[in-house]
Amino acid sequence: MARLDRDLLAPRLAGRPGPLDRDSGELGRAVQSERIPYAALLTDMVQGTTLLFIERPGRQLDYLVGAFSPEGLEGGYGDPHAPRSIVLPSFPGRAAQALTDRYLPAYEQAVHARQTAAIAAVLGDIRSEHDTWQAMNASGRYSDATPLSAAALGAATELFLDHAWRRFLTVVDHAPALLDRCQPANSPWPDDAAALSRLADAVIDAEALLDEIVHGGSVPEQERRARAWPAIETWLTDGQPFLRQARISAPHRRPALPVTAPARPLAAARPAHRGP
């Protein structure tokens, strides 16, 4: 592993969530308060998982491992959905087994829970604002009973739709992976399949709109609001079936792998540059 003290590690962590921000275990505490003599970043290019692997401060042979948060799942230190880092033994086979059998399943389950919670929070916020907008529209008044002009109602409608679209991007980011895991036919609510199909179609429509906005040039605001709202409304209508399916569809523990590596300690790390 390369030598890497906390001053060098901080820029690598800056601007992205990771163990420094989310892990409430020993690794998080070490990165917060210790100089880290050696560290390595291990990246799964298929799943996009990045692990931070360090020597355990104060121990000669033990190691700590934790994961960076996936993009878009910012969270504070001690996030209840974050898996705690674990101590790896110095034997390669046992270390690999601990990582495969214990940490990675916990990490995958934590990401699933965090994605589900993020979507639930977003839908709750949009629904609350929608209820407020509906009440204003029905009464023709602000919440303090002040009369609402037609122009003011139009402006309030545009503001609500703009806020709803920005929040809905969280759904666009995280719902596809969760929808893929849902199996309504094997759940207590098999009839949810129709709702999940509508939700998937709505995400596809929103993804197409987002791609057009980002890569296809400017989309007029009125057109963007008109195209975005049907997808958002579908999720407000069918969001509860999705959430109950997602909550029972968390990844299961992986089957244990046999330890085939010889039971010898990992070699102690050496500095990347050594003096004479």
The predicted-structure confidence for 1-42, as pLDDT tens digits, reads as follows 443 333 334 434 433 444 444 566 788 778 777 777 777 887
Q: Residue 198's closest CA among 167, 229, 238?
A: 238
Strand 63-67 vs strand 86-88: parallel, antiparallel, or unpaired?
antiparallel
Q: What would you report as the CA-atom Rg of the chain, rounded to the nearest whole angstrom?
A: 24
Of the chain, the percentage scoring pLDDT greater than 70 comes to 76
- Mean pLDDT calculated for residue range 237-262: 74
Give strand ranges (E) for 79-184: 86-88
Q: In DSSP terms, which residues pair with 2 in a beta bridge?
A: 39
Confirm whether pTM is higher than 0.85.
no
Q: What is the structure's pLDDT at 248?
A: 95
What's the token pair of residue 127?
């629904």
Are 178 and 144 within 8 A, CB to CB? no
